[in-house]
Amino acid sequence: MWSHRIHDLILALALALLAPLTLQAQGSTAPAAGTAPAADARAATGGAQTLEDILARQRGERIDDAFRRNAIGSPEAAQPPSAPLGTLGGASDPELWRALRYDEAELTSSVPGDVAKVVIQDGGMRWLEWRRGPLPKYGGYMLLGMIALLVLFYLLRGKIRLDGEKTGRTVLRFRAIERIAHWSMAIPFILLAITGLSLLFGRQYLIPVFGKETYALLAAGGKYVHNYIAWWFMAGLVLSFFLWVWKNFPERADIGWLLRAGGLLSRGVHPPAGKFNAGEKIIFWIVIWFGAGISLTGLSLEFPFEIRIFSSIFWFLNNLGIPQMLGFDELRTALTPQEEMQFAQLTHAAIAFVFMTVIIAHIYLGSVGMEGALDAMTSGKVDVQWAKEHHSLWYEELVAKGGGGDQPASDGARSNSTTRAG
């Protein structure tokens, strides 16, 4: 009994003596205020994050989390349970949770594939914040900004009219197959834009108007339209590419056209241009590249987890040294399947916003903005005066080939009067 009391007393005294030493040791490793946490600062927190780490994360700074990412135990180096001092695993519970958090844990799942093996995926939150934050905000500003610019342009410049008199004679500008290709991009693009925008903005703007029930129907229908119509757009894109790529390589005349802004800003100015002017060539290449990008990311979304593109794209960019050149770290190439989908969705929508912004300007110039332009894509024929003013080099080529739309279009000899498109 007494011996127990003496033992407890000695223990209490020893603890009382050691306590200041322990506190002093901890105090000596604490980082000075405002400095980055030293490696041994984390030793003071038992390897966990420090206050500095937490504050840095709250300031939105990236911290090197290798101290956590790599602290996931070592099951393969563990002593078997039968060996002396054998363990039951080689990874403690915190180490196991960290391994799950960083997608490093060896898991088995009854669901085939690697998707179900990702238990914690914190990228989902970042994706959600982008999807409901900067993406619709800046995308929306961009679309509205372009519409405002076009209204301003219309008010200042008005409709771009022919300077000369219409001749009544026409030349064939686009063959039927070219018009089919064009409208096979245009009609689905507009349907895709409407359904895509209503999926992104619906919660904010459509539910208050239509109510949840009706919006649910609209959204489900919109999703089907979006998914199926996309194939029509892709077919139109491929067809347009093969029909028009030959006429869209840069030429000497393009420089003069660009320097004079295509004559769009002033009356009576008509820089020479071939079948497509420099502005149209730029639109063409935007349509092709953005069309390819939107199709690829769209396919990845349409077949979830089956088409993964971003790890390869990031690998490729790293090898070209592009992120490094821009002052970023190398991009992560080990992406979870969920992250692939998150990148696909954000990129798809970002491309769509820029694409729509450009196409709104194109639609304006191709319809109400310029007299006679729409004829080229409806009947396929344009007035000779229009051809001379807007595409003089192309018209000269037609004349040199023996065409030129010399008969009036209305005299019944249409096959003679309408020159073949070049």
Q: Which residue is nearest to ligand HEM (CB)?
A: 366
Compute how many other C-beta atoms are within 10 angstroms of the C-beta atom of residue 409: 19
The distance of closest approach from Cβ of residue 221 to ligand HEM in the complex, given in angstroms and rounded to an integer, is 21
The angle formed by the CA atoms of residues 157, 163 and 165, to the nearest 5 degrees, is: 140
Nearest residue to 310 (alpha-carbon basis) of 278, 348, 341: 341
Question: What is the binding site for ligand HEM (CB under 6 A)?
Answer: 173, 182, 185-186, 189, 240, 276, 280, 283-284, 287, 359, 362-363, 366-367, 373-374, 376-377
Residue number, 2 or 242, with CB nearest to ligand HEM = 242
Indicate the burial class of 11 (C-beta count within 10 angstroms; 0-12, 13-18, 19 or more): exposed
In order of 113, 156, 278, the CA distances from 390 in angstroms are 57, 20, 11
The distance of closest approach from Cβ of residue 408 to ligand HEM in the complex, given in angstroms and rounded to an integer, is 21
Please report which residue ranges of 164-211 form alpha helices under DSSP H: 176-201, 207-210
The distance of closest approach from Cβ of residue 274 to ligand HEM in the complex, given in angstroms and rounded to an integer, is 11
In order of 18, 135, 333, the CA distances from 298 in angstroms are 65, 17, 20
The distance of closest approach from Cβ of residue 237 to ligand HEM in the complex, given in angstroms and rounded to an integer, is 8
| 170 CB-near residues (< 8 Å, 6+ apart) | 381, 382, 383, 384, 405, 409, 417, 418
Residue number, 29 or 367, with CB nearest to ligand HEM = 367
The distance of closest approach from Cβ of residue 377 to ligand HEM in the complex, given in angstroms and rounded to an integer, is 4
The distance of closest approach from Cβ of residue 359 to ligand HEM in the complex, given in angstroms and rounded to an integer, is 5
**Residues 188, 189, 194, 200, Cα dihedral to 10°:** 120
Residue number, 99 or 376, with CB nearest to ligand HEM = 376
The distance of closest approach from Cβ of residue 273 to ligand HEM in the complex, given in angstroms and rounded to an integer, is 9
How far, in Å, CA of 294 to CA of 230, rounded? 10
Q: Radius of gyration of the chain from Cα atoms?
A: 33
The distance of closest approach from Cβ of residue 188 to ligand HEM in the complex, given in angstroms and rounded to an integer, is 8
Residue number, 309 or 377, with CB nearest to ligand HEM = 377
The distance of closest approach from Cβ of residue 214 to ligand HEM in the complex, given in angstroms and rounded to an integer, is 27
Secondary structure, 3-state, 346-395: HHHHHHHHHHHHHHHHHHHHHCCCECCHHHHHHCCEEEHHHHHHHCHHHH
Give the single-character DSSP code of 408: B
Residue number, 37 or 196, with CB nearest to ligand HEM = 196
Give the single-character DSSP code of 396: H
Residue number, 130 or 241, with CB nearest to ligand HEM = 241
Amino acid at 322: I
Which residue is it, tokens 């409806």? 378
Nearest residue to 395 (alpha-carbon basis) of 167, 180, 160: 167
Residue number, 296 or 376, with CB nearest to ligand HEM = 376
Residue number, 224 or 289, with CB nearest to ligand HEM = 289
Q: How many CA atoms lie within 13 A of 44 on its CB side?
A: 18
Question: 163 in the Ramachandran plot: left (φ > 0), alpha (ψ -120 to 50) or beta?
Answer: alpha
Residue number, 120 or 393, with CB nearest to ligand HEM = 393
Residue number, 195 or 240, with CB nearest to ligand HEM = 240
Residue number, 42 or 182, with CB nearest to ligand HEM = 182
The distance of closest approach from Cβ of residue 283 to ligand HEM in the complex, given in angstroms and rounded to an integer, is 4
